[in-house]
Structure 1
Amino acid sequence: MTNLKNRGKEASDDALFGTAKMQFKLKEAVTDMHYFLSRGYGEKSTLTLVGNRYRLNARQQQAVRGMSASEQQIENRKSKEIQSQDLEGKEICVDGFNVLILLESTLSNAYVFKGQDGFIRDLSSVYGTYKKVNQTSQAIEIITDFFRKEKIKKAVWLFDKPVSNSGKLKQMIEEIALDNNLNWEVQLVNNPDKVIAESDYIAITSDAWILDNASANFNLMKYVLAQIDAKETVIDL
């Protein structure tokens, strides 16, 4: 599995997200998105409308989409959120690429975005191939510490089978679990989202569709960000 350096920022990101002026514009866009989504307008058409209104480029629109949710979605997701003190003896299902890449991005000081639902999202994606970065081991270490500290009974990691290198990542996580005596199971499946949403396990993800459809969720990034110093690149509008 080839190693990239970081999951970090793109060259233009400081200009797109880092200034007070830009953050005000993004906040206005998210407010408008929330208004329309709460009234039943479609996400795609609303994003186009709002993106044009505030002259946002594709990357900024992606961030606005990640931060926006309807009132109903926010209430639904929060009503199913499990608190850390209630995790002991429970079983969790980790949305593998979603969680790892988000942690890697945060540890790389890339911009990440706090949604109206309280969940953090990033701008990275897998594009058919997963490449390890310098922060991959640290990201897994954070999840190991969390798993032990909260005395979780079992974790099932799910990765997209079609993604290149998912097999190597599975092997790496299984070895870590074995070395550290962790009750972890790693599966490669064709549609992790559906499997997580239909399971009885607590979903560990920031994927909006899974959060809408899963029976319970835990906000891992909120938990992690309370413990690591990454505030400069966490956009919280």
Structure 2
Amino acid sequence: MSKQTNRGKEAKDDISFGTEARLTFKEALSDLHYLLSRNYSEKNALQAVGTRYKLTQRQLRAIQSMAASEEQLTVVKSKAVTIDRLMGADLVFDGFNVLILLETLFSNAYLFKGLDGCYRDLSSVHGTYKRVSQTTLALDCVASFYKRHKIGNIIWIFDKPVSNSGRIKKMIEELSHKENLNWSVILENNADQAIIDQQKITVSSDAYIIRNCSHWFNFIGYLIEQEKIPATVFSVES
């Protein structure tokens, strides 16, 4: 499995998501939220907002990750659990989602705080997962969190069709054995549905998953906001 230097950041990101962009994003996100809450299709709403505010494709991807309708926000909020629910609990981790977000965080690339409180990034596996310099640090972070909060079990679920999923499975299993962690790793052809079907507390920032699982925990949000792990965050909050 080849290894890159870092995860997620592009040369123009400091301009696209800099201080001057924040006001534009705040207005654009407000408009997108309004349209989605009135049942406009996401495609049409994005097109309208992107045209009005002259957003680049990368900015559009970012604002899409931050947006939600009022109904969606209500659903997500109703399913969120707090840290005190995790002691002794079994968690299911959305494998690539969590791992890539942590790699992005530790690469100092931009994370985008959505209206639902979730942090998301602009990285994607495109059918192939490649390790980066921060992969080991990301897994060590989860292991430390697991021990510190006395979590019962973690079930990692990864997309089987993604190239190198077998290798990251082996890497996690080796760490689990070395550190005596009660972890298991599963490869699934339809990982999203498999995660939802577990009916356990889910760790993910994937919008579809957190809206459809039984309960979810905002792991990345907790690390940034409560444990104060340094992060490069783009948010429209003042």
Pairwise same-fold verdict (TM > 0.5): yes
The ranges of structure 1 where at least 4 consecutive aligned residues each deviate by more than 6 angstroms after the TM superposition are none
Number of the residue aligned with 1:230: 230
TM (norm. structure 1) is 0.97
Q: For the residues of structure 1 that align with 2:99 and 2:43, how far apart are their CA atoms?
A: 27
| RMSD (Å), alpha carbons | 1.0
Q: For the residues of structure 1 that align with 2:215 and 2:38, how far apart are their CA atoms?
A: 25
Instruction: For 2:11, give the aligned amino acid.
Output: A
Number of the residue aligned with 2:12: 12
Q: For the residues of structure 2 that align with 1:185 and 1:7, how far apart are their CA atoms?
A: 25
Q: For the residues of structure 1 that align with 2:183 and 2:115, how far apart are their CA atoms?
A: 31
Cα deviation for residue 45 of structure 1 reads: 1.1
Cα deviation for residue 36 of structure 1 reads: 0.8
Q: For the residues of structure 1 that align with 2:4 and 2:145, how far apart are their CA atoms?
A: 25
Q: For the residues of structure 1 that align with 2:88 and 2:229, how far apart are their CA atoms?
A: 29
Q: Residues 74-85 of structure 1 correspond to what in structure 2 (within 5 A)? A: 74-85=73-84
Number of the residue aligned with 1:3: 3
Number of the residue aligned with 1:114: 113
TM (norm. structure 2) is 0.96
Instruction: For 1:127, give the aligned amino acid.
Output: H
Comparing 113-122 with 2-11, greater Cα deviation is found at: 2-11
Q: Secondary structure at the match of 1:92?
A: strand
- The alignment covers a number of residue pairs equal to 235
2:60 paired with 1:64: no
Number of the residue aligned with 2:200: 201
Instruction: For 1:188, give the aligned amino acid.
Output: L
Unpaired runs of 5+ in structure 2? none
Q: For the residues of structure 1 that align with 2:8 and 2:124, how far apart are their CA atoms?
A: 12
Question: Percent identity at matched positions?
Answer: 49
2:38 paired with 1:22: no
Q: For the residues of structure 1 that align with 2:177 and 2:139, how far apart are their CA atoms?
A: 13
Cα deviation for residue 236 of structure 1 reads: 1.6
Q: Residues 145-184 of structure 1 correspond to what in structure 2 (within 5 A)? A: 145-184=144-183
Cα deviation for residue 8 of structure 1 reads: 3.8
Q: Secondary structure at the match of 2:88?
A: coil
Instruction: For 2:5, give the aligned amino acid.
Output: K
